[in-house]
Structure 1
Amino acid sequence: MPHLPSPPRNLWRQQDFRLLLGGRLVSQLGDQLQFLALPLLVVALTGSPAQAGIVLGLQTVVHLVFGLVAGALADRWDRKTTMVSCEIGRGVLTATVPIAAACGVLGMPHLYAIAVLNGVLSTLFGAANSSALPNIVTGADLPSALGAIGATSNALRILGAAGAGIAYTLDRMVPFTVNAVSFLASAAALRAMRADFQQERATATVSPRELLADIGHGLSWLWRKPVIRTLALLDAGDGLRYGAGYLLIIMLAQHLHANPTQVGVIFTGAAIGALLGSLLAPALTRRFPLGALSITMLWVEASAFPFYALVPTWWLLLVVAFTESVVSPIYNVALDSYRLSVTPDALRGRVTSAIDTLTGGAAAIGTMVSGALIALFGAPTLTIVLAGWLTFLALAATSSRTVRTATATD
């Protein structure tokens, strides 16, 4: 059953989308270079992996704490101005790292401050960015746009790790310098776009009481939408497993005597699977109902996950990771297309941020407890437990009439 009433146009002929995607890719490349360089820099400065973990975790904490507020502000403020300002702010903040290093004054208080402030700006940028997309492309183009964004992001993910290692080897400050420039390039691309990033805008100034009222209104609207609400709760449940999966797969690979290069190849296989899923997503989103894609994804994950603990060699872990990774981008494009289409423009920031906070928080919990659970149960046993959890979620989705009947016209 088709999801959309009209065929999509050629996205690559739309200048605004090309600018949006180009700026996003440049910025993401810089982020990938810095993501590897930052913990290495912290360890070089302090000799403490624990401090490296704290710095990396700060942005997640900021996102969870500030997410709902960022969504409300993204609905109040001019989104294009907000996004451009955030990119410039992140570029300036990131540039202070190589400047401080050159002056011999770089220290941990500086890096902690950068992590927190960049986390605030990244959260606000993300809320405005996800809310703006339906005003840059038409509703019929949303699946293609989301699929293209996912495909290019996953392609960059495949190549990014190698590039990050090379950049850091050249000089510790190269990744930070490149990232600072990438933020400014992204800001320039956004500034050159002609589209309006929102249909209407409330007053830019807002009191704390009004901000809380805005957040409450967004949550209330979300709760009254059974399809979005139910799928968000299922996604949060899946996020618990996803958060635990990264460390779990590493431990299972080590159990099979995989060396670090082979572990990297396993995650590269997962990225290639995600790239394939992103390429298939637009056509499948138009061909199948949202509910069917949701149920299929959960059953494929539940069926594939036990094999992480059962395969006898590391390269078969790659096969499992590839297979499991194909389905999630297809479902995500279908869900995001639906959610962005049915959510009023004035509420998109709040609704998107609320869902991201819920699912991101669940993934963060899974990440934080995974080490303790692996130590308690062992990696193979925890794999089977999580497979059982995925089976429960698949059964819940299958038995839910709300999910089974979910289509783009709900």
Structure 2
Amino acid sequence: MADPTSTLPVPLWCRPDFRLLLGGRLVSQLGDSLQFLALPLLVIALTGSSTQAGLLLGLQTVVHLVFGLLAGALVDRWDRRTTMIWCEIGRGSLTATIPVAAAFGALGMPQLYAVAVLNGVLGTLFGAANSSALPNIVPSSDLPAALGAVGAMSNALRLVGAAMAGVAYAVSRMFPFVFNAVSFLVSAAFLRAIRTDFQQVRTTTPGSPRVLLTEIGHGLAWLWRKPVIRTLALLDAADSLRYGAGYLLIIMLAQDLHANPAQVGMVFAGAGVGALLGSLLAPALTRRFPLGALSITMLWAEALAFPFYAVAPTWWLLLVVAFTESVLSPVYNVALDSYRLAVTPDALRGRVTSAVDTLTTGGAAIGTIASGALIALLGPTTLTLVLAGWLTLLALAATLSRTVRTARVTA
């Protein structure tokens, strides 16, 4: 007779491979958090140009527009874990060239642009493989809890990283880049230790480039036939335009209030606290409320909160606005990602994930690249109000959409 305890579900935190996957991601994210604030500050110090800072921030992610779909098809063919390990090693090596060049007095914008593009290619591959792997590490019933845990831990590190970033940059301009290079290599070591396969057994073999394009088309066709995922992905892409523009905008608003680098970091720490709270609440709220209701509520919360960036008279009130705006987004993201990962076949998961990421990350890249020029043209306050109007239009569109209103988290 079989041991009845053998069929009992394994608690999420008792799964060593999930802990390793999460640990590697968190170490790498801490490095990213330090570098993400340091990079625009470094560019402004080198060039004095907010336009160049916005261009460089967006350049790394704009790669998703031209490479994202191909990356998804490739990770559906390749071994996902091996792909992720080599991507981390490559990103660590590229990032290390920045402090090395600075030490020899040779750091310039051409190198920063080259590193941004190449890291964008590797980051696109890594992201498609990483998102596709999670349902093979934990069962689908644990996806909301796993995504909520990933979000909570990620946002806790985002909080720490944002608080540390300005201080780290003030101590040494190159420290965030050195730390980030090491963090990529640590992440690769964590991934190497995972034993679980990151994908199911493949039933097809790699073919010609023409076959690869056909496979991309199959993924897009499957996605187009899923109206909930399709509609919410388009709304997220439009929201990402505002998110991409908002990062540099908030930095400039804080500097106009005479905030120092450490205080600018604290503003983003406020957003991290809000996102952390949302991630902790996400599993319970995902089970209780429909996906569509979470989407509509999030967009209206963003639309109502964003104008207050324009009128905040001190940097710490910018922090309060950033906190308020950030609470609901993680709840909605956990609900949407749980739904999408659960209903997408493993063999298509890389392509579907990359298609959605191409829209949202591409939207953020366009917003980031345009932000510097728009700030110079309109000024930070006027651009804040324009973006608030954009969010209001998105919230109205979601509210009027029957597909969104009737969306449920369950497959």
Unaligned runs of 5+ in 2: 1-7
Q: 1:359 to 1:182 in 2, by over 3 A?
A: same
- Answer whether contact 1:243 1:364 (CA < 8 A) is retained: yes
Deviation at 1:110, TM superposition (A): 4.5
Deviation at 1:111, TM superposition (A): 4.2
Range with bigger deviation, 299-308 or 337-346: 299-308
Deviation at 1:358, TM superposition (A): 0.9
Query: What residue is the counterpart of 1:266 in the other structure?
Result: 267
Task: State the distance in 2 between where 1:320 and 1:287 align.
Answer: 27
Alignment of 1:60-209 (within 5 A): 60-98=61-99, 109-165=110-166, 167-168=168-169, 173-201=174-202, 203=204, 205-209=206-210
Deviation sequence 1:282-302 (CA, Å, 0-9, x none): 111111111111111112222
- Answer whether contact 1:86 1:125 (CA < 8 A) is retained: yes
Alpha carbon RMSD of aligned pairs, Å? 3.0
Instruction: Name the SS of the counterpart of 2:327 in structure 1.
Output: helix
Task: State the distance in 1 between where 2:186 and 2:112 align.
Answer: 23
- Answer whether contact 2:151 2:330 (CA < 8 A) is retained: yes
Task: State the distance in 2 between where 1:41 and 1:251 align.
Answer: 14
Q: 1:138 to 1:55 in 2, by over 3 A?
A: same
Task: Report the residue type matching 2:148 in the other structure.
Answer: G
Query: What residue is the counterpart of 2:59 in the other structure?
Result: 58
Range with bigger deviation, 282-291 or 395-404: 395-404
Task: State the distance in 2 between where 1:247 and 1:109 align.
Answer: 21
Range with bigger deviation, 111-120 or 295-304: 111-120
User: Is residue 350 from structure 1 mapped to residue 351 from structure 2 by the alignment?
Assistant: yes
Query: What residue is the counterpart of 2:341 in the other structure?
Result: 340
Range with bigger deviation, 397-406 or 226-235: 397-406
Q: 1:319 to 1:165 in 2, by over 3 A?
A: closer
Deviation at 1:10, TM superposition (A): 3.1
Q: Name the % identity.
A: 79
Task: Report the residue type matching 2:290 in the other structure.
Answer: P
- Answer whether contact 2:162 2:269 (CA < 8 A) is retained: no
Deviation at 1:231, TM superposition (A): 0.6
Q: 1:114 to 1:383 in 2, by over 3 A?
A: closer
Task: Report the residue type matching 1:129 in the other structure.
Answer: N
Task: State the distance in 1 between where 2:383 and 2:101 align.
Answer: 44
Range with bigger deviation, 328-337 or 208-217: 208-217
Task: State the distance in 1 between where 2:100 and 2:257 align.
Answer: 44
Task: Report the residue type matching 2:369 in the other structure.
Answer: M
- Answer whether contact 1:290 1:406 (CA < 8 A) is retained: yes
Query: What residue is the counterpart of 1:407 in the other structure?
Result: 408
Query: What residue is the counterpart of 2:3 in the other structure?
Result: none
Query: What residue is the counterpart of 1:296 in the other structure?
Result: 297
Alignment of 1:36-55 (within 5 A): 36-38=37-39, 54-55=55-56
Q: 1:282 to 1:167 in 2, by over 3 A?
A: same
Q: 1:39 to 1:344 in 2, by over 3 A?
A: same
Alignment of 1:6-17 (within 5 A): 10-17=11-18
Task: Report the residue type matching 1:196 in the other structure.
Answer: D
Task: Report the residue type matching 1:240 in the other structure.
Answer: L
Instruction: Name the SS of the counterpart of 1:135 in structure 2.
Output: helix
Task: Report the residue type matching 1:205 in the other structure.
Answer: P
Unaligned runs of 5+ in 1: 1-6
Range with bigger deviation, 252-261 or 204-213: 252-261
Task: State the distance in 1 between where 2:160 and 2:180 align.
Answer: 16
Instruction: Name the SS of the counterpart of 2:324 in structure 1.
Output: helix
Q: 1:173 to 1:119 in 2, by over 3 A?
A: same
- Answer whether contact 1:91 1:184 (CA < 8 A) is retained: yes
Query: What residue is the counterpart of 2:28 in the other structure?
Result: 27
Task: Report the residue type matching 1:132 in the other structure.
Answer: A
